[in-house]
């Protein structure tokens, strides 16, 4: 059984588990960012439930500007409660719906220390599906040269060698 799928109560604050989570979150963000650089995001489907997630997102957060997400705004006490209700709608629909996922604040930017926040997976999906459908993520292709897997592996090997 994959250690990351086991109940959290079994672990406490285990540094090994935190490193595994961080590695998985970084891998997910790298893969997603490379997808943004590679395809027309208006047609990108993130889950089999994109339409449902998007519909509920637009109903629950009709005025939210997803081009730039202010972490303090979405995590203030009022919005945090609204997001919790939103996320719970997908508890039995979206796998790992509450798994901590890295999300870019500014749709035009990359994953960096100043442009990245931690959100539940279904919140990431809701905002990124909206960004894709509203053609906000296509800017990434214009602004960044995403690395192909062979280039990433070559860089990793050169880091190890030094």
Quick one: which H or E segment has residue 122? helix 121-133
Task: For residue range 24-50, list pLDDT tens digits in order.
Answer: 888 888 888 888 888 888 888 999 999
Query: According to the model, what pLDDT value does residue 149 have?
Result: 46
Spans in the chain with pLDDT lower than 70: 1-4, 8-14, 17, 146-162
HSE-up of residue 74 (Cα within 13 Å, Cβ side)? 23
Q: Do the domain assignments include residue 58?
A: yes
Q: Do the domain assignments include residue 150?
A: yes
Q: Characterize 24-53 residue by residue with b for buried, 16 or more Cβ atoms within 10 angstroms of its Cβ, and e for exposed.
A: ebeeebbebbbbbbeeebeebebbebbeeb
Query: According to the model, what pLDDT value does residue 152 have?
Result: 43
Q: Do the domain assignments include residue 4?
A: no
Q: What does the alpha-carbon distance between residue 36 and residue 144 come to, in Å, rounded to a whole number?
A: 10
Query: According to the model, what pLDDT value does residue 11 have?
Result: 58
Query: According to the model, what pLDDT value does residue 143 have?
Result: 80
Q: Do the domain assignments include residue 96?
A: yes
Query: According to the model, what pLDDT value does residue 30 have?
Result: 86
Q: Do the domain assignments include residue 32?
A: yes
Q: List the Cα angle 32/46/37 in 5-degree steps.
A: 35
Q: Do the domain assignments include residue 74?
A: yes
Query: According to the model, what pLDDT value does residue 150 have?
Result: 43
List the domain range (segments joined by +) for residue 39.
14-155
Q: Read off the pTM.
A: 0.78
Query: According to the model, what pLDDT value does residue 140 have?
Result: 82
Q: Do the domain assignments include residue 161?
A: no
Number of domains in the chain: 1
For the chain, the first-to-last Cα distance in angstroms comes to 35
Q: Do the domain assignments include residue 6?
A: no
Query: According to the model, what pLDDT value does residue 151 have?
Result: 41
Query: According to the model, what pLDDT value does residue 33 have?
Result: 87
Query: According to the model, what pLDDT value does residue 158 have?
Result: 44
Question: Residue 30: which of 126, 159, 144 has the closest Cα?
Answer: 144
CATH number at residue 115: 1.10.3560.10
């Amino acid at each position: 059984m994959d250690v990351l799928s086991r109940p959290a109560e079994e672990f406490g604050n285990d540094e090994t588990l935190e490193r595994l989570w961080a590695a998985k979150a970084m891998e997910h963000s790298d893969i997603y960012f490379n997808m943004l650089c590679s395809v027309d995001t208006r047609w990108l489907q993130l889950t089999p439930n994109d339409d449902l997630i998007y519909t509920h997102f637009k109903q629950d957060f009709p005025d939210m500007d997803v081009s730039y997400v202010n972490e303090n705004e979405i995590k203030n006490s009022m919005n945090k409660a609204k997001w919790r209700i939103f996320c719970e709608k997908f508890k039995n629909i979206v796998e790992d719906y509450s798994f901590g996922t890295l999300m870019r604040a500014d749709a035009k930017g990359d994953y960096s220390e100043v442009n990245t926040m931690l959100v539940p997976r279904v919140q990431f999906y809701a905002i990124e599906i909206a960004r894709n459908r509203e053609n906000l993520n296509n800017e990434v292709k214009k602004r960044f040269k995403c690395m192909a897997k062979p280039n990433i592996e070559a860089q990793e090997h050169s880091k190890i060698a030094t």
